[in-house]
Structure 1
């Protein structure tokens, strides 16, 4: 169905060097989009993302920058429009996660989490909207987490949970602010997902608990985040804005 095709679209993905961001960047290309891929300087997987997209016959190039620096994101968006054309789709995946007991957490750890996960998303949306709004066309999808809606049992991550709740509400707020100018903004809230971070041997026992506590009995694969991202970016979601699409294997239903 051409409702889900992104042929003719130009996409911009942050955090495209690994995990969910990398897979979504490739997934947008599989749906037909050309993709600009942004990640930190020295990101080991960024060139692989670009190669995988180009192997599909789509245009792609790597961009290095920090989403917490407005000038980096603005320059990356400008480079995207120069090399690929008018930006129509953006997916903001850049983010971090860690855990510390709230009473012991240094303020610097709290601030870094908020700077990357919230301020980085805002600055990305701002730069993307500045080129999309005058054309009255575009879709932005921000990657949040089910941890923005629930508190994960046994995980000491008040800062992370708070940051992802902020991403969800930021997305809704921007969706309403830009709704009359042709720009849709939505978020995706993944549940426990088998990213490289969760594939480490030292967290194997923790992952067994994640699987046990998820109604579908397993963690998501990164492949399972592609469909939701393509849907929200495509014509199939043309009447969807301000939506937080929870992709968690039923976890929040318990």
Structure 2
């Protein structure tokens, strides 16, 4: 009974930012549970690399080139994938960027707008457009990607733009989770710590930052993409059927202190 709740047989999942890192690990996790997965990304090369990786694992992913900052493109992707596959049952709003260590008084207007556009607006457009189809059918599961940076203010790097966007994603998740609960659509959020992905691991050799990050981390390590993907699978599946509007830290204990 309990393992069956994790199965996603006959379900279709769409993942933004699915070409590498957490998004790609999530695609592998959902495939392993029986779902058919469409990965999207803004970069054709990343999409091809992601599809090749999944193919080596025995999974045949469809791909969609998508800029999540363009709401009309997100709407078209949602319409097309729902038409082609009958229904998108799961949507993982994973696409994101980061520009850390910029003093708050020095963040350039364009950088602020760009980060908010990807990390907050892109998540909302994705939730809104795929959510519309789910609400019409009265079922669906959406997983957003937040961060411990939406729960705490990071140290020593200064990243008010990133932290603000992720905090807003957490609250967006709660708002949509509450609004859509009685209509059969669940919306939950994963809030990872520092994760060993291409976007983050270049900082792990930093002699100033890494010791501070580890001092705040009870487990004294960063997380791996598969550890985040496991939580995404749980939230996407019926194993979490009584959860909506929830922010789940996967942080090696970082937010304890």
Instruction: Quickly name the TM-score band, shorter chain normalised.
Output: over 0.9
- SS of equivalent to 2:232: helix
- SS of equivalent to 2:188: strand
1:59 CA drift (Å): 4.3
Quote the residue 2:243 is aligned against. Answer: 240
Distance 1:39 1:142 in 2: 16
> Which deviates more from structure 2 when the two are superposed, residues 8-17 or residues 196-205?
196-205
> Aligned to 2:222, which of 219, 228, 235?
219
Q: Deviations over 1:142-184 (max 9, x none)?
A: 0000110111121110111110000000010001111111000
CA gap 1:32/1:207 in 2 versus in 1, 3 angstroms: farther
Distance 2:204 2:219 in 1: 24
1:51 CA drift (Å): 3.2
Distance 2:150 2:187 in 1: 17
Quote the residue 1:183 is aligned against. Answer: 185
Distance 2:93 2:114 in 1: 17
Distance 1:207 1:173 in 2: 34
Distance 1:4 1:98 in 2: 35
Please say if residues 97 and 115 of structure 2, whose CA atoms lie closer than 8 Å, have aligned partners that are also in contact: yes
Listed as ranges, the gaps of 5+ residues in structure 1 are none
Distance 1:29 1:202 in 2: 30
Please say if residues 171 and 187 of structure 1, whose CA atoms lie closer than 8 Å, have aligned partners that are also in contact: yes
Q: Over aligned residues, Cα RMSD in angstroms?
A: 1.6
Quote the residue 1:198 is aligned against. Answer: 200
Quote the residue 1:71 is aligned against. Answer: 72
Distance 1:55 1:5 in 2: 22
1:55 CA drift (Å): 4.7
Q: Deviations over 1:20-48 (max 9, x none)?
A: 11111121111111011111043x32123
- SS of equivalent to 1:219: coil
Quote the residue 1:252 is aligned against. Answer: 255
Quote the residue 2:18 is aligned against. Answer: 16
**TM-score of the aligned structures, taking structure 2 as reference length:** 0.93
Quote the residue 2:98 is aligned against. Answer: 97
Aligned residues: 253
Distance 1:194 1:124 in 2: 25
Distance 1:113 1:186 in 2: 22
- SS of equivalent to 1:111: helix
Distance 1:129 1:200 in 2: 35
Quote the residue 1:167 is aligned against. Answer: 169
Quote the residue 1:85 is aligned against. Answer: 86
Listed as ranges, the gaps of 5+ residues in structure 2 are none
Aligned 1:120-159 pairs, distance under 5 A: 120-159=122-161
- SS of equivalent to 1:232: helix
Q: Deviations over 1:206-239 (max 9, x none)?
A: 3344234311010001111111101001011111
Distance 1:201 1:153 in 2: 13
> Which deviates more from structure 2 when the two are superposed, residues 166-175 or residues 15-24?
15-24
CA gap 1:33/1:120 in 2 versus in 1, 3 angstroms: same
